[in-house]
Amino acid sequence: MDVVLLIGRVLFVALFLGSAVSHLTQTEGMAGYAASKGLPMAKPATLASGVLMLLGALSVLLGVWGDLGALLLLVFLLPTAFLMHAFWREADPAAKQTEMIQFNKDVALAGAALAFFWAFSQDPGLTITGPLFSLG
């Protein structure tokens, strides 16, 4: 079962690694998009979110305090869902649908991050370190 969880970790973090690289290498464009959504201090927020995703994804992937990494990804996902994908603010039906899909994706991934947080707290194996947090 350890291998199944490892495969799940790899599949889960692939999205975040790619996004982190984009946030850190295409900062101006990503910050422009964030600013268009009304996010204050868009460039620092873009860089910070890129670092957050990179650290969280590597932590989950490598199993180095994977529980902390899962929490870092959760801290990225929930605010992003509400700040960047506020579908309820959209008037255009196509834009509303697109933002709703992205919102739901982020919320679902947040649920997966919580599941990984729990899994890492159980010291699942195939990790470099044990859990940082103890859930009981």
Residue 4: predicted pLDDT = 94
Distance between CA atoms of 128 and 117, rounded to whole angstroms? 15
How would residue 98 be classed by pLDDT, with cut points 50, 70 and 90?
very high
With a pLDDT cut of 70, the percent of the chain lying above it is: 99
**pTM, entire model:** 0.94
* Cβ proximity of 41 and 85 under 8 Å: no
Express each pLDDT in 44-67 by its tens digit: 999 999 999 999 999 999 999 999
Residue 2: predicted pLDDT = 86
Q: What is the dihedral of CA 43, 45, 50, 55, to 10 degrees?
A: 140
Express each pLDDT in 16-26 by its tens digit: 999 999 999 99
Convert 18-87 into a string of H (helix), E (strand) and C (coil).
HHHHHHHHCHHHHHHHHHHCCCCCHHHHHHHHHHHHHHHHHHHHHCCCHHHHHHHHHHHHHHHHHHHCCH
Check pLDDT > 70 for residue 136.
Answer: no
Please give the single-letter amino acid code of residue 107.
Answer: V
Q: What is the mean pLDDT of residues 77-81?
A: 97
**Structural tokens at position 118:** 């729990």
